[in-house]
Amino acid sequence: MNNIVAIVGRPNVGKSTFFNRLIQRREAIVDSVSGVTRDRNYGKSEWNGKEFSVIDTGGYIKGSDDIFEGEIRKQVELAIDEADAIIFVVDVEEGITPMDEEVAKLLRKVTKPILLAVNKVDNGKREQDALEFYNLGLGEYFTIAGMSGSGTGELLDKLVEVLPEMPDAVEEENPLPRFCVVGRPNAGKSSFINALIGEDRFVVTDIAGTTRDAIDTRYNRFGFEFNLVDTAGIRRKAKVKEDLEFYSVMRSVRAIEHSDVCILMIDATRGFEGQDQSIFWLAEKNRKGIVILVNKWDLVEKDTMSTRDYEAKIRKEIEPFTDVPILFVSALTKQRLLKALETAVKVYENRSQRISTSKFNEHMLNIIEHMPPPALKGKYIKIKYCMQLPTPVPQFVFFANLPQYVKDPYKRFIENKIREHWDFSGVPMDIYFRQK
C-alpha cells in the first residue's frame, strides 16, 4: 500500500503547480491517460524508488480567493487525520500571513512528518527573504520554485526519508479478490453490505458517516468467495457537519488502491455528482474494475426519469470509458443485490482474462488490415504484430514501424474493437504502440 502525502497551504501559494510537478514525474513514465484531467487533485508520484499518493487539498476548496480561514483549517485538520506526511507550502513573495500562522499552529501539535516548502524562491535575494519562515516554528524549511522545479529534489529526498514504512500486504497463498464498496457519504454502502451478509455487521443509521474505517468482510455465499471492503469511510459524528467531499475521496484512495474491483454506489435521488465522478476517475486511473450501482432506486419518481435516461446520463459523464456495468438496486428492499455481486465477480474475471497471442493477432491484424491507421505526412504506418502484456490489468501492445504517428482516435478505435470481441466490461485497459 502507498503512503498518502497531503499538500496544504492557503490559496495561490502554488500548491497545484508543485502538485503537477510531482505527479508528472510519474505520468511521464506510465503514458498519461488521455482525456482524464478531471481530477487534478489526486495522483501518484515516485522518488528514489519509493511510490506514494499525493493529494492537493487546494483542489477541494470551493469559492473565491479570499476564502474564510475556516475552510483552510478544515482541510488541514483532515490532512492531519488522514495523511502519512504533510507538505506545507508558503509563498516567499508575500511572507508570513496570519493564515500561514494559523496553519502552522495546527501543524506544530502533530507528530507526523511535516515539511515546510517556501515556494517561488528563484534568486539569491529571495533565499534571504525565506529566512523569516523560521518564525513559523516548524524547524528547517526547503526553498523551491514550483514553476522551474528547482529545490524539489532536496525536498523529495527528505520526504521519502521520513515517510513511515507501510506494512507489506500479507501475501496469501491464493489471495482472495478484493471488492471495495465506495461512494459519497449516505449513498447506502453499509446497508448494501449488511443486506448481502444478512446480518447487521455494521451499525447503519441515517447520520452520514458512522463508519470510521475501511472494514474487511470475508464473504462466501452462492459459491463466491472474496473480501468485501466497506469504505463507508466518513468520520466520527462530531465532524459530520463539515464538508465531507475531501474526506471521503481521501478515504477512498486507500481502499481503491488496495482492491481489484470497486463497487461505486451512487444515490439515485441525488444523481451522479462531482464527488461520485472523482471517485470513478480515481478507480479508473488506478486501473481497477468498476461496477456502478444506482441505489435507492425505489425512491425515484419513475415517470420523470426512466432507467434508460438515467443510465445514458451517467455514461455521458464517464466518456470515453463507457463500457461499465450500471445496475439499479435498492439496499433497503434488497432488489437486485445478488445481481450486483455477480456483476462484480464477472468484472473481476474480465480483468484477469488472458488472450492467447495467436488468437489476438489473428483477430486484430485482420481488422487493422481493413482499417489501418491514417497516414501522416505521407508516411504509412504498418502494424505487424500485437500481444497482451503479462500484467495484472489488461494492457496490449502493437508493434509498428512508426508508433509515434499513431494518434488517440486510432487507439480508441482499437480499444473498441478489442471490447467488441472480448468481454472487458467494467475494466479500464491500456493500448501501447511500440517500435517493432
CA triplet 336, 425, 273: central angle to 5 degrees?
65
Residues marked as binding? 9-16, 56-60, 119-122, 183-190, 230-234, 295-298
Assigned C-alpha cell, 419: 471490447
Task: Name the burial class of residue 250, with classes exposed (0-12), middle (13-18) and buried (19+) by CB atoms within 10 angstroms of its CB.
Answer: buried
Pairing between β-strand 50-56 and β-strand 42-47 as defined by DSSP bridges: antiparallel
Annotated binding site for GTP: 9-16, 56-60, 119-122, 183-190, 230-234, 295-298
Closest-CA residue to 213 (of 223, 224, 202): 202
Kind plus residue range of the DSSP H or E element containing 19: helix 15-27
Amino acid sitting at position 196 = L
First-last CA distance in the chain = 35
Distance of alpha carbon 368 from alpha carbon 432, whole angstroms = 15
Measured distance CA(117)–CA(101) in Å, rounded: 14
- To the nearest 10°, report the CA torsion of 356, 359, 363, 364: 40
Give CA angle at 86 (80, 88), nearest 5°. 110
**What does residue 101 show for φ and ψ, rounded to 5 degrees?**
-65, -40
Concatenated DSSP letters of 96-148 = --HHHHHHHHHHHT--S-EEEEEE---SHHHHHHGGGGGGGSS--EEE-BTTT
CA angle 13, 16, 20 (to 5 degrees): 140
Q: What angle in degrees, to the nearest 10, is found between the helix axes of 69-82 and 98-108? A: 20
Place of cell 443486506: 195
- Compute CA distances 163 → 6, 156, 357, whole Å: 12, 10, 42
The number of beta carbons lying within 10 Å of the beta carbon of residue 380 is 12
